[in-house]
Amino acid sequence: MSRPIKELLEITLENQQCFVGGLCGWLENLYRSNLIEFEEWDELQNYADNNKPSIYSSVDRFRHRNSDYWWKSGDITPRIKWIKKHIKKNA
């Protein structure tokens, strides 16, 4: 059974050493490090895809339409902010 999204986001935040490049890579490294199960990784990926950052404006979407990144690659700060926001939303 999968843990709640809030708990999975907290695990993500507690394991910043797993961050590489972007949120997807971070989540994948959590799975590869056996910190989350495959089903939890899949659930987190789906959650992120369904909750793209609101600052992701139409201009940004157009500019990054061929990119897998919502924020600048390698910058953990906006990702931490997004995770903390969604931990609160899922409290």
Task: Report the alpha-carbon angle 73-68-21, nearest 5.
Answer: 30
The two structure tokens encoding residue 15: 């394991």
Most distant CA pair in the chain, distance: 39
Mean pLDDT by 10 residues, the chain (91 residues): 93 97 94 97 94 65 60 88 96 90
The rounded distance, in Å, linking the Cα atoms of 40 and 23 is 14
pTM for the whole structure: 0.83
Beta bridge partners of 20: 22
Instruction: Decide if 54 contacts 12 (C-beta within 8 A).
Output: no
Residue 54, pLDDT score? 66
Q: What is the pLDDT of residue 3?
A: 95
Q: What does the pLDDT read at residue 59?
A: 58
Please calculate the CA angle 41-27-49 and round it to the nearest 5 degrees. Answer: 75
